[in-house]
Amino acid sequence: MQYLSTRGYAATSDSSVSFSEILLGGLAPDGGLFLPKTYPQVTPEELNRWRDLSYADLAFEVLRKFATDIPDADLQDITRKTYTAEVYKNARSDESAQAITPLRILKESGTHKLVLQALSNGPTLAFKDMAMQLLGNLFEYALTKKQAELNIFGATSGDTGSAAEYAMRGKKGIRVFMLSPHKKMSAFQTAQMFSLQDPNIFNIAVDGVFDDCQDMVKAVSNDLAFKTQQKIGTVNSINWARVVAQVVYYFRGYLSATSSNDQQVSFTVPSGNFGNICAGHIARMMGLPIAQLVVATNENDVLDEFFRTGVYRVRKSAETYHTTSPSMDISKASNFERFIYDLLDGDTARVKALFKKVETEGGFDLSGAVGSDGDEFKKIAHFGFTSGKSVHADRLQTIRQVEKEFGITVDTHTADGIKVALEHLRENVTMIVLETALPAKFNETIQEALGRDAARPAGFENIEALPQRFTVMDTDIAAMKSFIATHTGL
């Protein structure tokens, strides 16, 4: 399996980039994102064989199609080390811990079926653990073989940061520099990150919004000399290995919800940075029978606008809302470029031009209107995409509705997903909503919706009271580079 950049790097027939070569990096040298030159295909026979596999062995089967330069025995050891009931011990029961990502039927009436796929049983109570735990073990494996070290530089709107830090803490040869928007995460999210005292973890609170943090990561990553000297890698959703790890739970969700390969399912995914649902797109391109991929946004509805109109219009920092589903408070979706590459049939020159326009003019238009940048919006349905939007009043109502009708409490982002999913139910097609986090991470809104605190897994009772260690900085690229260089000693 060989890889190329969405903007053309390594696109010629005689050039090649392997999985292990892109594992430790982020952006391609030309500023694009890595994708396989062709998506591997899954046969009906393979799907049948995979139905009875453990999550760890299913992960191995999916990953080996992409990580062809890692010996099978090593890769299987890594997946079996990662996906255990012990790692995902915040599950609701021993049975669901073994399943790793169990399904729960929420609504079944006539020909309509709504299912919730639990993805939040990992150490930081969020779906990001599904990929990040694997990434930590892959990183350690690759660095040990090279006798090398890595300085991870990333940005988070709340959950990626803690998942990365918990996966990397104590890992040999790895330091983590994580940016987050100052005072714009929930109290639980903030405490989960900032209370870590490990010497290889550096939390940096940026005076701005998540998009400012993300722009800083890209700016540093695009300085190839600095990136090389400081051994910079990334765990953000642009990291290809992380996207591939997320592909696995789409296969698990489908196989758990169906009994034969002639059945289709749809997925509704709370979406901000487009990484989670990009994995669903890849699973569908591999041949997984997905009818629809439903993008659920909050008030920051850039993606919903695109999938309704074909216009991608990035909001400025001042126009980005601070909401009660803060992990989706994003207006520049990092992984969106991967989908646009496929939408444009791999035309790397056009992809490069469009995302240059994002930087210079704030967006592009594929609606086909006079003066637009193209008419590819007409092809959106071919890829199964549709979308919807949920705002604060919607998520409060959905949290109350789910509690009353199904007896469970969901977090704010999952509530956004359920609200939008209910608007897109189809006859005879099971709709799977991907859970985002446990509600304890967003207790302020649970209190507002239900008048009580969200339940907390053991060990998290008083996390907000723990001492916190972090540095506040503004959006100064030079100062950020100096901070990294000072603390790596390179």
Positions marked active-site? 128
32's tokens: 């694009």
State how far the alpha carbon of 359 is from the alpha carbons of 73, 226, 314, in Å.
Answer: 44, 22, 9
Q: How far apart are CA 124 and CA 88, in angstroms?
A: 10
Q: How far apart are CA 169 and CA 450, in angstroms?
A: 35
Q: How far apart are CA 59 and CA 57, in angstroms?
A: 5
Residue 160's φ and ψ, nearest 5 degrees, are: -60, -40
118's tokens: 């639990």
Q: How far apart are CA 279 and CA 476, in angstroms?
A: 32
**What is the rounded (10 degree) CA torsion for 181, 185, 191, 197?**
-20
What is the three-state SS of the chain?
Answer: CCEEECCCCCCCCCCCCCHHHHHCCCCCCCCCCEEECCCCCCCHHHHHHHCCCCHHHHHHHHHCCCCCCCCHHHHHHHHHHHCCCCCCCCCCCHHHHHHCCCEEEEEEECCEEEEEECCCCCCCCECHHHHHHHHHHHHHHHHHHHCCCEEEEEECCCHHHHHHHHHHCCCCCEEEEEEEECCCCCHHHHHHHHCCCCCCEEEEEECCCHHHHHHHHHHHHHCHHHHHHCCEECCCCCCHHHHHHHHHHHHHHHHHHCCCCCCCEEEEEECCCCHHHHHHHHHHHCCCCEEEEEEEECCCCHHHHHHHHCEEECCCHHHCCCCCCHHHCCCCCCCHHHHHHHHCCCCHHHHHHHHHHHHHHCEEECCCCCCCCCCHHHHHHHHCEEEEECCHHHHHHHHHHHHHHHCCCCCHHHHHHHHHHHCCCECCEEEEEECCECHHHHHHHHHHHHCCCCCCCCCCCCHHHCCCCCEEECCCHHHHHHHHHHHHCC
Residue 232's φ and ψ, nearest 5 degrees, are: -85, 130
Q: How far apart are CA 206 and CA 153, in angstroms?
A: 13
According to DSSP, the residues that pair with 5 across neighbouring strands are 34
